[in-house]
Chain A
Amino acid sequence: SQQGEEDPQALSIQEGENATMNCSYKTSINNLQWYRQNSGRGLVHLILIRSNEREKHSGRLRVTLDTSKKSSSLLITASRAADTASYFCATLGGTSGSRLTFGEGTQLTVNP
């Protein structure tokens, strides 16, 4: 079963705008990872945030983690058309051990 649930399922914005995607999960975790998948291509790792961290930055990406609410958010600032992709959160640890448990993803479309 999928532990992570992304919200929204689909998001369409204009180039230059910010995009925020949320992820909720059910059980305790060791870390939470965000991945991007372009149409028909592989999964690319974006960022990992550990359970004892609250916020992390990487370039135009900002990830937050609230373990009390079992939720995370991914913010992409100043979006580009090339950011168009599906974004997945995946949790690792807790009862799921070493497996990554993925959500169903958010489809982001950035219009030029």
Chain B
Amino acid sequence: GAGVSQSPRYKVTKRGQDVALRCDPISGHVSLYWYRQALGQGPEFLTYFNYEAQQDKSGLPNDRFSAERPEGSISTLTIQRTEQRDSAMYRCASSLAFSTDTQYFGPGTRLTVL
């Protein structure tokens, strides 16, 4: 079946604008994860959900970042009042069951804040 999809693939925005990044996990996958990856670095955890419940948001850098997964499928990561330091690749992953399963990553959204 289809893999994890993310949209948009590229987003350029001006400082101070809000952005919403979307993730569509593999059908039937219970867990959904958000990561952020700076150039030349490995991904860093932001938050994750089991079904619609946000289980861990300790990786969100500040309160401008929020995420939701209202129906336990598609998730949206929202960044309010974007800053240049928010520029990065934002990656979503999903896994079939809780915690210990393989996480399958989407293609990512490249966010550039001017």
Taking Cβ atoms with an 8 Å cutoff, the residues of A that contact B are 2, 4, 30-31, 33, 35, 41-45, 48, 88, 90, 92-93, 96-105
Contacts and interface: CB of A to CB of B under 8 A. Distances in A.
B18 interface: no
Given A99-B33, A99-B59, A93 B45 contact: no
B48 A104 contact: no
Given A2-B44, A92-B100, 11 more contacts: A30-B99, A33-B103, A41-B107, A42-B105, A43-B93, A97-B56, A98-B33, A98-B48, A98-B99, A102-B42, A105-B42
Given A98-B31, A98-B48, A101-B45, A30 B100 contact: yes
9 contacts: A2-B41, A42-B107, A90-B42, A93-B99, A97-B99, A98-B33, A99-B59, A100-B43, A103-B42
Nearest to A33: B102
B55 A102 contact: no
Interface in B6-59: 31, 33, 35, 40-45, 48, 55-56, 59
